[in-house]
Structure 1
């Protein structure tokens, strides 16, 4: 690489890459295919490849990379598995992608205290495999086999959030590399603390804009004594959502309560060769002692019937539960299969549960008015629902209609006292809506960013509008 021939802006990057190659050898990669793989998430957001990808294997290595990048004002983008949905891994200003996937050790499991400590590259499935036989599990399930560090950074949740909460409730402590390479540790193993600012939860949900999470302390939960799953169809959207509201307001302690609209059910039937009735459908799961689970199922069945529910079926063996849940687990790929060659724009609204029916019906009316393909699903037990808008990014008119749909959905959720994102995060795709939702508090976020990252090198352009680096 002839650095003298490069534009002035590119010279610091080239110098940093040269130093990284000297230290990390073949773990510093500049091949186009690998860079492209690290510059795009699973959604429609366009590719923005980094200038290089470095595979770190320890906190010390992440710190060394950060020091080099910080000194040269070169952007850094943390990368876990790339399963985010709002462009969070895109290298909008180029720079160095720090891949943490090799930092995948489960460091400690404290069975008596229901907690553990892991490196950021451990995935949720790897963690649960390590917990096998302990009687404990990590219940946060965003669908994809995401890395724990990525789940911390986006404050992920998923299907079990209605019972176990989100990553916000699960994260007890963090090890974080700050933009200048300094390593800080936050939180601890105590179940509560009133000691100083809550830095653990400052970094949880920061999407890699304040530092790079390298280790995580997590709260674990006992495996339920009994699990039962159920499925029930409904004559229309309103009936299904009203049944959700009734179940939640009655206080049935459901483990999961998920919703698929008729179009999503049809997509799953085609994709997985299922034979489900094509109608709005709820999927439920119940956890607890055997007699308690049976009672929960009976109450849910009665409430579903009161709202027109039909075909209520439940099962308590692992194999039968998996069959009942298969459609819900297939929703993303099933939706994309409706239009081969297109991409997904996953929306992510969350509203107070009392407004859920209104929000869902309005969203479906918008889809029909705008002539889009957009199956709907949701973790409706906590008011969170998604439209997977299947789009052709090369069709400008269709993209404009999809953006209109998303904007209506976001603005309506915020007006209802909800949020523009229940779990996907902001990335660079939702900055406009974050500003609408948070208003003057954006200045506080900007002040925190400036204090911790004055050079603007940590995942620039995400969450907050960013000056050029």
Structure 2
């Protein structure tokens, strides 16, 4: 879906922005395509123009101008969103915030920092290396911290540290009329009024543009141990996950892959891991605690029927194991080169994880769909990559049916349609079933804060 003719209001906004920002406003087709045809499996939807911004003040000025002309504004960080959050189905101006990439302050004694929204999370940890601190949210993608806050992102370490919901202390936000507000602060708790910080965390740019983020940091653990375990079947692996969580171990990560995913990882990575349902586990803490917990985990795995247990001997070996896990999506795509597929991300209560996986796997087995499973089993969140050719109507229909069926199963088990990818355009159709009347409250908030409807319109829900 391409948008070619801007409305009069959008054209007026483009003219005003070009006069103010000069060459940092681009209408080049290639630049627009970079911002409207990204990682998502959804059809491309290009903005009318792309504006490159460098400060909160510039964002505020540009938003105020767009507000005057009723021009849609689509915040853009790294473009790694999967559910179409950065697409522009109604045209408008894409605000590229990737140049806002400064670490503004690190308060080592208080274990927090303040960053601009365009800082990549891996780069923040490089910046923090000498302090002995780190930021724990660990995504496979090179995502910006502003985008991660906007989608309430998580990752492999959520089981220990939580998601962006738990780790964002405060925000600087440009509102739809250009006003700048600051929410939260550096205190670890507050009972002062509405929790506006967490209103914007997960709002996907529909209520305002996050330009700065204050984050909690953590001390790097003294010791760690990585273990890989292969099982005969998925129920055995998921039973081990539940047992490990209930045992109070110092789990930092516990990741799950099914047999097909392991076959893809072996082929892509040139390795020979067991092609069986597999857990990657990382335990952290003091050296004695890690040694104790690792031994106990191996006992639990063997008690759950583990066929193969492999512990990394050193830091380099552990990194090799985790690199294979982080490259799992690319390994999956290599099964059908040139096809992205739908990457699902439901999340259910931990105790229902085995049932949810078993039920959707039975549905997939009735089809010819290639759909490897990998997930953050420690928090009940898992992904199926539904590989289909978008030019094949039958394959497309089957993939969409499986996606819908998975979401229905998760909701019936007290789960959610999206554990970490967010709603965007791709999950909009499932919000009513998940939220019911609460979705109307979200609409009321949107109308109150953005009466002109210019902030990332058409995402999460329709008005």
Superposed, 1:59-208 pairs within 5 Å as 59-208=56-205
CA distance in 1, matches of 2:356, 2:190: 38
Tell me the distance in 1 between the aligned counterparts of 2:38 and 2:139.
Answer: 15
Q: Does 1:22 align with 2:23?
A: no
Q: How far apart, CA to CA, are the structure 2 residues paired with 1:364 and 1:251?
A: 29
Task: State the alpha-carbon separation in 1 of the partners of residues 292 and 28 from structure 2.
Answer: 58
Corresponding residue of 1:46: 43
Quote the Cα distance in structure 2 between the aligned partners of 1:326 and 1:106. Answer: 26
Task: Name the stretch that deviates more: 339-348 or 112-121.
Answer: 339-348
Hey, what's the Cα distance between the residues in 2 that align with 1:20 and 1:144?
Answer: 31
Which residue is equivalent to 2:427? 430
- Aligned-pair distance for 1:330? 1.1
Contact preservation (8 Å) 1:41, 1:88: no
Post-superposition offset of 1:370: 2.2
> How far 1:365 sits from its partner (Å)?
1.4
User: Would you say the 8 A contact 2:250–2:290 is kept in 1?
Assistant: no
Alpha-carbon contact 1:372-1:389 (below 8 Å) kept: yes
Give the length in aligned residue pairs: 460
Pairwise CA distance, 1:179? 0.6
Contact 1:344–1:388 under 8 Å retained in 2 = yes
Residue 150 of structure 1, CA deviation: 0.3
The equivalent residue for 1:413 is 410
For the Cα contact (< 8 Å) 2:226–2:283, is it kept in 1?
Answer: yes
Q: Distance in 1 between matches of 2:393 and 2:61?
A: 43
- Residue matched to 1:3: none
Q: Secondary structure at the match of 2:36?
A: coil
Q: Give the TM-score, by structure 1 length.
A: 0.97
Which residue, 446, 449, 455 being the options, matches 1:449?
446
| Match of residue 384, structure 2, among 387, 393, 396 | 387
Q: What runs of 5+ residues in structure 2 fail to find an aligned partner?
A: none
| CA deviations over 1:369-392 (Å, ceiling 9, x no partner) | 122011000000010000011121
Q: Choose 282-291 or 388-397, whichever is displaced more.
A: 388-397
Give TM-score, length-normalised by structure 2: 0.98
- CA displacement, residues 185-207 of structure 1 (integer Å, 9 cap, x when unaligned): 00000110000000000000000
Is residue 347 from structure 1 mapped to residue 344 from structure 2 by the alignment? yes
Aligned residue number for residue 402 of structure 1: 399
* Deviation digits for residues 160-200 of structure 1 (CA, Å, limit 9, x no counterpart): 00000000000000000001100000000011000000000
**In the TM superposition, what whole-angstrom CA distance separates every residue of 1:384-415 from its partner, at most 9, and x where no partner exists?**
00001112111111110001000000011001
Aligned to 2:288: 291
Most deviating of 148-157 and 15-24: 15-24
Q: Aligned to 1:185, what secondary structure does the other structure show? A: strand
The partner residue of 1:35 within 26, 32, 36 is: 32
Unmatched segments (≥5 aa) in structure 1: 1-5
Q: In 2, distance between residues paired with 1:348 and 1:30?
A: 34
Question: What RMSD in Å do the two structures reach over aligned CA positions?
Answer: 1.1
Matching residue of 1:264:
261
Q: Distance in 2 between matches of 1:184 and 1:123?
A: 23
CA contact (8 A) 1:230 1:283 kept: yes
Among 364, 368, 375, the residue aligned to 2:365: 368
- Structure 1 distance, partners of 2:162, 2:7, is 44
CA distance in 2, matches of 1:89, 1:346: 17
Identify the residue that residue 353 of structure 2 maps to in structure 1.
Answer: 356
CA drift of 1:316 comes to 5.2
Cα deviation code 1:200-232 (max 9, x no counterpart): 000000000000000000000000001111100
In the other structure, the counterpart of 2:303 is 306
Aligned with residue 240 of structure 1, among 237, 241, 250? 237
Deviations along 1:63-90, whole A, 9 cap, x unmatched?
1110111111110000000111101011
Q: Compared with structure 1, are the counterparts of its residues 129 and 44 closer, same or farther at alpha carbon in structure 2 (3 Å cutoff)?
A: same
Query: How far off its partner does 1:367 sit?
Result: 1.5
Give 1:366 deviation, angstroms.
1.5
Q: Is the 8 A contact 1:265 1:327 kept in 2?
A: no
